[in-house]
């Protein structure tokens, strides 16, 4: 099938392009390089060869999207392009609403005009906010705690409305938990323009540069007091997109009358302190840590119940967290700043 991947130069997007092309699909990626550069796309090209093309484009550009998404051009749109920094979204909410929600509306409009019938949307576990019940299933009521998470939920609702209005339109919402790691070749990875604000790349950078990594909060109600997350290898996340496309193309996805929602996580929690110990073990280097106060908007525990993804998509995370650490810590792959 022919796939349009928005945000294809990004961290998850580049790995997803590889997984889709390796599954035999024709992939066309677009990106405006707001948080990436061409090197990721060069890396994807080197890994997958002729099944991959790309161009620079902004999803908010109505004319460009209408021209690109011509009738019959794509069977599926996989929408990963977004701004994703929680701290930045607290400072510039209008930018996040314009880019993530406004951009998605433009994309959906172009897709509808071209009668593209399948859509996969990258959402986030942040839409759940702090839940009493863990692991979190898709039926939990969303309670986003910051503008970034609100824009993801707004995208989900927009998609849901579109599915209601068009009987032939089918959509999957993938709620990622915490993607980590890199392609095992070292050819692509998390190529950060800004220093990271999430733990895994911060801890990897601290390990590499012998800098201190801050532990935000050691007084949570968790066994070691630090926050617990569900880390999932980025290639497992990438392969979930292949499963989602197969699902949408199959009879199993018919007649729901709404978008399908799936958690992408391992179901296993790992605390900040445990993650740092794992990186130390894999790298055989000590990491210097400093305990500081809780960060605004952070929650104690976020772990997925991935059973629906396993049952309907036939997907489950196969790679370990140690593998994710090793894939990023290869000596020639020190991209994290
Ligand atoms: N990485 C995570 O921790 C995580 C967790 C949950 C959900 N997500 C979601 O997954 C998706 C991919 O995340 P990622 O980690 O790869 O982020 P990323 O920043 O690496 O990739 C996003 C890409 O989208 C591009 N982009 C942003 N705005 C654009 C626009 N207007 N037009 C065209 N391109 C645009 C950026 O340049 C970037 O290359 C995002 O939608 C994000 O919200 C990510």
In a structure prediction context, what are the per-residue pLDDT tens digits for the chain, which is 337 residues long?
999 999 999 999 999 999 999 999 999 999 999 999 999 999 999 999 888 999 999 999 999 999 999 999 999 999 999 999 999 999 999 999 999 999 999 999 999 999 999 999 999 999 999 999 999 999 999 999 999 999 999 999 999 999 999 989 999 999 999 999 999 998 999 976 667 778 999 999 899 888 899 999 999 999 999 999 999 999 999 999 999 999 999 999 987 889 999 999 999 999 999 999 999 999 999 999 999 999 887 899 999 999 999 999 999 999 999 999 999 997 554 444 3
* Domain shared by 17 and 116, yes or no: yes
Q: Are 5 and 57 in contact (CB under 8 A)?
A: no
- Do 236 and 220 lie in a common domain? no
Residues 131 and 258 reside in one and the same domain: yes
Quote the number of domains for the chain. 2
Same domain for 298 and 282: yes
| Smallest CA separation from ligand 1 atom 26, residue | 81
Asked, for residue 148, whether it belongs to a domain, the answer is yes
Do 103 and 240 have their domain in common? yes
Q: Do 172 and 210 sit in the same domain of this protein?
A: no
Residue at 337 is within a domain:
no
Residues 124 and 218 in one domain: no
Residue ending a domain, among 264, 287, 318, is 264
Q: Which atom in ligand 1 lies closest to the alpha carbon of residue 58?
A: 32
Please report, for the domain that includes residue 101, its CATH number: 3.40.50.720
User: What is the structure's pLDDT at 336?
Assistant: 41
pTM of the complete model beyond 0.85 = yes
Q: Is the residue at 193 inside a domain?
A: no
Distance of CA 32 to the CA centre of its chain: 17
Q: Are residues 112 and 242 in the same domain?
A: yes
The reply to whether 108 falls in a domain is yes
| Cα of 295 from ligand 1 centre, angstroms | 22
CATH of residue 278's domain is: 3.90.25.10
Of 209, 241, 264, the one marking the end of a domain is 264
Q: Check whether residue 7 and residue 57 sit in a common domain.
A: yes
Encode burial over 25-58: b for 16+ CB neighbours within 10 A, e otherwise. bebbbbbbeebbeeebbebbbebbeebbebeebb
> Coil, strand, or helix at residue 191?
coil
pLDDT value of residue 198: 86
Q: How far is the CA of 80 from the centre of ligand 1 (A)?
A: 5
Is residue 170 included in any domain, yes or no? yes
Are 35 and 129 in a shared domain? Answer: yes
Give residue 144's domain range.
2-181+232-264
- Can you give the pLDDT at residue 27? 98
Q: Tell me, in angstroms, the distance from the centre of ligand 1 to residue 203's CA.
A: 21
Q: Find the farthest-apart pair of alpha carbons in the chain and give their distance in angstroms, rounded.
A: 56
Q: Give domain status of residue 191, yes or no.
A: no
Lookup: tokens for 158:
């927009």
Q: Which pLDDT score is estimated for 49?
A: 83
Catalytic-residue membership of 176: no
User: Is 113 a member of any domain?
Assistant: yes
Residues 224 and 238 grouped into a single domain: no
Map residue 326 onto helix, strand or coil. helix
Q: Pocket residues for ligand 1 (CB within 6 Å)? A: 6-7, 9-13, 31-36, 58-60, 80-84, 99, 103, 122, 124, 176, 178-179
Same domain, 154 and 279: no
The pLDDT, as a whole number, for residue 208 is 87
The catalytic residue among 11, 96, 128, 148 is: 148
Q: Is 190 part of a structural domain of the chain?
A: no
Indicate the residue among 264, 285, 317 that finishes a domain. Answer: 264
CA distances from 317 to 91, 199, 246, 260, 320 (A): 34, 20, 17, 19, 8
């Amino acid at each position: 099938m022919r796939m349009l991947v928005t945000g294809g130069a990004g961290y998850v997007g580049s790995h997803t392009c590889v997984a889709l092309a390796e599954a035999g699909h024709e992939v066309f990626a677009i990106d405006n390089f707001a948080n990436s550069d061409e090197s990721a796309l060069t890396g994807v090209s080197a890994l997958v060869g002729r099944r991959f093309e790309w161009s620079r484009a902004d999803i908010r550009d109505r004319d460009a999207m209408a021209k690109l998404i011509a009738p019959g051009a794509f069977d599926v749109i996989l929408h990963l392009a977004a701004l994703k920094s929680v701290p930045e979204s607290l400072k510039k909410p209008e930018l996040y609403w314009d880019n993530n929600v406004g951009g998605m509306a433009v994309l959906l409009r172009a897709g509808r005009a071209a009668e593209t019938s399948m859509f996969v949307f990258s959402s986030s576990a942040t839409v759940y906010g702090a839940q009493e019940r863990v692991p979190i299933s898709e039926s939990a009521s969303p309670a986003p705690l910051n503008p970034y998470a609100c824009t993801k939920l707004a995208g989900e609702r927009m998609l849901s409305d579109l599915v209601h209005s068009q009987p032939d339109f089918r959509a999957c919402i993938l709620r990622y938990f915490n993607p980590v790691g890199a392609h095992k070749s070292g050819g692509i990875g998390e190529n950060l323009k800004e220093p990271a604000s999430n733990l895994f790349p911060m801890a990897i950078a601290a390990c590499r540069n012998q800098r201190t990594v801050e532990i935000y909060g050691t007084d949570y109600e968790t066994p070691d007091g630090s926050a617990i997350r569900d880390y999932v290898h980025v290639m497992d996340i990438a392969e979930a997109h292949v499963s989602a496309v197969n699902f949408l193309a199959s009879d199993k996805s018919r007649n729901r009358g709404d978008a399908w929602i799936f958690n992408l996580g391992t179901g296993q929690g790992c605390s900040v302190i445990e993650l740092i110990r794992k990186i130390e073990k894999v790298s055989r280097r000590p990491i210097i840590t400093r305990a500081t106060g809780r960060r605004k908007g952070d929650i104690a525990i976020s772990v997925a119940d991935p059973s629906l993804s396993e049952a309907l998509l036939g997907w489950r995370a196969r790679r370990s967290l140690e593998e994710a650490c090793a894939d990023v810590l290869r000596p020639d792959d020190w991209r994290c700043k």
